[in-house]
Amino acid sequence: MSAANMYLWWGSGSGPCWKPMIVLAEKGLWKDCPNKLVQFSQKEHKGPDVMKLNPRGQVPTFKDGDLVINESAAICSYLDETFGTDKPLIPKSQPARAKCLQRMYESDNLQSKVMLPLIYYKMRTKKEDWDNELLAKNAAEAKEELKHWEGYLNENKFVAGNEFTMADIFVFVFIAMCFRQGAKLEEFPKIRKFYNELMERPAIKETMPPHWADSPSPNQMEGLL
Amino acid sequence: MSAANMYLWWGSGSGPCWKPMIVLAEKGLWKDCPNKLVQFSQKEHKGPDVMKLNPRGQVPTFKDGDLVINESAAICSYLDETFGTDKPLIPKSQPARAKCLQRMYESDNLQSKVMLPLIYYKMRTKKEDWDNELLAKNAAEAKEELKHWEGYLNENKFVAGNEFTMADIFVFVFIAMCFRQGAKLEEFPKIRKFYNELMERPAIKETMPPHWADSPSPNQMEGLL
């Protein structure tokens, strides 16, 4: 098992980047994986090294030898199936496998129903134009989405069962973003517990977005969730 | 190989529903799969039979015996790994496997950059409020996205190589929607060829959205793409 031939371009605080970083750390490969922390503010994700491998100019961009993979979920699956296969993050057997894949894909709802209508709305709209009524409506809909996940965690310790899986990584990056952005999630005790427990996980500590430690949060979810 | 224990709830013209239907047909299972054509206009996707298994009230909703799977991509993976495994739609070996998964996930860009800013924009905006300047800008961006796929099909017969894979199914349902909606895609001869050839594929003929045959298209992409 070696990371010597790999290379990962990533950005700090990007959920799609954080996913394969956690997988690499779970497999004991992150500390040896050659990588570049791309500065979004300098538009380094549109730089020639990234664009050559990923014409959309997005991170994560990843290669292992000659094999180039860009989509974060495809990178995660590749890493899981190639390294540490005795302890897979996506279970090999049914029905655990179907449940894990279901929750991995389902986590896209956290992007479309929680992140986009709250954080991205605020990022893309001038502060003086923020529509507080719309934001309150979006927050109510985001809570409807979060109720599904609270329910899954009420049934099981993790989102796809009682074992930690890839689905937990996919969900965690969104939940961590909510807390970073000042969400309290007081109505969601199981999600809070899930977050607190995963924050203690070595692979997650090792890969925490570096700028979170030394720059204040914009707290864009404060008072909303 | 049997479909007797399965059940699929689906809607006509829904891309997410069409994907697992094509997979079932490719595996020779569609004609024997118990199923219900859900009428969106009657809100049957919010009916008790669906809601019991899929609390978000969305289709496809699928079960095989006691195993419930809702997300279309998770259903497709399950079917591929369970039935007709001698002819998998997602290749088993690298690098073909990584390439196929990459393109499957990458097809989400066709939803976010081609479908949403054109068809969904028109569906969700009153006709008298359509902003033609915005639509022209969105169409130009959609063409930038389509250029990536034209390039892949310039390199290979199919989107993930020279063999037909799951990635082709994921891409085809979007491309077919473009043509149904009056797009000409004149600048994209390889995408047109891909579409024309796949339209002759038995599994695709067998599962074509039934209402496409007997109701006129709203042609919402006409003059845009």
pLDDT in tens, A28-47: 999 999 999 999 888 888 98
pLDDT (average), residues A58-83: 96
At residue B195, φ and ψ (nearest 5 deg) are: -60, -50
With CA atoms as reference, the chain A residue closest to B106 would be A71
3-state helix, strand, coil in chain A (%, to 5): 55, 10, 35
Amino acid at A164: F
- Using DSSP, state whether B62 is helix, strand or coil: strand
Q: How far is CA A167 from the centre of its chain?
A: 10
Closest Cβ–Cβ partner in B95, B104, B148 for A67: B95
Closest CA to B49 of B68, B76, B29: B68
Question: What local confidence, expressed as pLDDT, does residue A1 receive?
Answer: 67
**Helices assigned H by DSSP within A125-200:** 132-155, 166-180, 189-198
Question: What local confidence, expressed as pLDDT, does residue B66 receive?
Answer: 94
- Distance, in Å, from the CA atom of A25 to the CA atom of B126, rounded to the nearest integer, reads 49
B141 touching A, CB under 8 A? Answer: no
Half-sphere exposure of B77 (CA within 13 A, CB side): 26
- Residue ranges of chain A assigned to CATH 1.20.1050.10: 96-214
Answer yes or no: do B101 and A73 touch at CB < 8 A: yes
- Token pair for residue B177? 């929607």
Binning pLDDT at 50, 70 and 90, where does residue A64 land?
very high
Percentage, residues of chain A above pLDDT 70? 100
Residue A98 and residue A55 in contact, taking contact as beta carbons nearer than 8 Å: no
- Distance, in Å, from the CA atom of B113 to the CA atom of B35, rounded to the nearest integer, reads 31
Question: How many CB pairs below 8 A link A and B?
Answer: 67
Binning pLDDT at 50, 70 and 90, where does residue B107 land?
very high
B130 touching A, CB under 8 A? Answer: no
Closest CA to B150 of B225, B72, B73: B225
Question: What local confidence, expressed as pLDDT, does residue A119 receive?
Answer: 86
Binning pLDDT at 50, 70 and 90, where does residue B1 land?
low
Is pLDDT above 80 for B75?
yes
Angstrom distances, CA of residue B161 to CA of A113, B96, B100, B156, B174:
34, 8, 8, 5, 19
pLDDT (average), residues A82-87: 94
Binning pLDDT at 50, 70 and 90, where does residue B119 land?
confident
* Spatial CB neighbours of A22, under 8 Å, sequence gap ≥ 6: A169, A172, A173, A203, A204, A207
Answer yes or no: do B105 and A69 touch at CB < 8 A: no
- Residue ranges of chain B assigned to CATH 3.40.30.10: 6-82
Interface of B with A in 92-111 (CB under 8 A): 94-95, 97-98, 101-102, 104-106, 108-109
Is pLDDT above 90 for B168?
yes
Averaged confidence pLDDT in chain B: 94
Question: What local confidence, expressed as pLDDT, does residue A161 receive?
Answer: 96
Rg from Cα positions in chain A: 18
Decide which of 3.30.565.10, 3.40.50.1980, 3.40.50.150, 1.20.1050.10 is the CATH code for B96-214. Answer: 1.20.1050.10
Question: What local confidence, expressed as pLDDT, does residue B68 receive?
Answer: 96
Q: Give the class (CATH, top level) of A6-82.
A: alpha beta
pLDDT digits (tens, 9 = 90+) for A86-127: 999 999 999 999 999 999 999 999 999 999 888 888 888 898
- Distance, in Å, from the CA atom of A16 to the CA atom of A108, rounded to the nearest integer, reads 11
- Token pair for residue B35? 């199923």
Q: Tell me, what DSSP letter sits at residue A170?
A: H
Is pLDDT above 90 for A2?
no
Answer yes or no: do A98 and B56 touch at CB < 8 A: no
**Which strand (E) or helix (H) includes residue B8?**
strand B6-10
Angle between helices A72-82 and A15-26 (to 10 degrees): 10
Residue A12 and residue A211 in contact, taking contact as beta carbons nearer than 8 Å: yes
Burial class for B28, CB neighbours closer than 10 Å (0-12, 13-18, 19+): middle
Rg from Cα positions in chain B: 18
Sign of CA dihedral B2, B7, B12, B13: negative
